[in-house]
Every structure is written in C-alpha cells, then in structure tokens.
C-alpha cells in the first residue's frame, strides 16, 4: 500500500513540475500587454446604446470574477439610458393624449398625395 502511495506522490510531483515548465515556456498566451492601472477596456457609447453595444461589452476578470466597478458602471449607464428613453416615450404619449400630435414624433410629414395611391 505504501508503494502505491509513493507512486501517486511521485506522479503528482512530476505533473506539477511539467505544468510549471510548460507555464514558463508558453506563458499565458496573451498577445497584448495588460492594461495600465486605473484604466479599463469596458466602453459604451455616450448615447444611443444598442443591443450590439451591450453584446460587445468586455469586463476585466479579477480573482473572484469580473471587476465590480466595471459591472456597476455598465448597469448604471444602461439604467440611465432606459430612464431617458422611457421619459421620451412618456412625453410622446402625453403630447398625443393632449391632442397636440396625431402622429408620433419623428414620423415623416405628409408632402402631398401618395404616389402609389390611385388617383
């Protein structure tokens, strides 16, 4: 039994040595240097956040997952964008309810008869 235990310990030690040698030789496989301190790769546009922008968000990984400050910033930013859009929607609904506009804001104005309609 001690012989099996000895083989197991030697096998684990050999595996650790091989892993260490491979780590030193091949590194982490990063092609870019790490970002300087107090900078981040997490970006969103100043306004008009789209689904593609949210899909493209990258967070810095730290020991226990993602960097909390970056995740909080993205959630705050998206919350502000949602609040702004809901405010604009409420303003359009209020204007329509007051009879100020028959069409929602941003629709094309009627420039005359429709060219495709029969005369």
Structure confidence at residue 5 (pLDDT): 93
> 49 or 110: which carries more pLDDT confidence?
49
65 within domain boundaries: yes
Q: How far is CA 11 from the centre of its chain?
A: 43
Range of the domain at 68: 43-102
Q: What is the DSSP string of 18-43?
A: HHHHHHHHHTT--SSPPPPTT--S--
30 within domain boundaries: no
79 within domain boundaries: yes
61 within domain boundaries: yes
Q: How many separate domains does the chain show? A: 1
Model pTM score = 0.42
Rounded mean pLDDT, 51-75: 80
Q: Given pLDDT bands bounded at 50, 70 and 90, which one contains residue 119?
A: very low
In terms of phi and psi (left: phi > 0; alpha: psi -120 to 50; beta: otherwise), the region of 38 is left
Q: Given pLDDT bands bounded at 50, 70 and 90, which one contains residue 53?
A: confident
Q: Give yes or no for residue 117 having a pLDDT over 80.
A: no
77 within domain boundaries: yes
68 within domain boundaries: yes
Point out the least confidently predicted range of 28-32, 52-56, 89-93, 104-108.
104-108
């Amino acid at each position: 039994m001690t012989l099996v235990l000895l083989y197991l310990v030697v096998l684990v030690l050999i595996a650790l040595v091989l892993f260490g040698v491979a780590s030193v030789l091949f590194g982490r496989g990063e092609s870019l240097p790490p970002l300087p301190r107090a900078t981040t790769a997490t970006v969103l546009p100043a306004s008009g956040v789209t689904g593609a922008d949210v899909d493209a968000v990258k967070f810095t990984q730290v020991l226990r997952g993602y960097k909390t400050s970056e995740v909080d910033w993205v959630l705050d930013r998206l919350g502000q964008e949602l609040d702004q859009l809901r405010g604009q929607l409420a303003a359009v609904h209020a204007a329509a309810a007051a009879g100020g506009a028959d069409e929602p804001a941003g629709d094309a104005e009627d420039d005359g008869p429709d060219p495709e309609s029969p005369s």
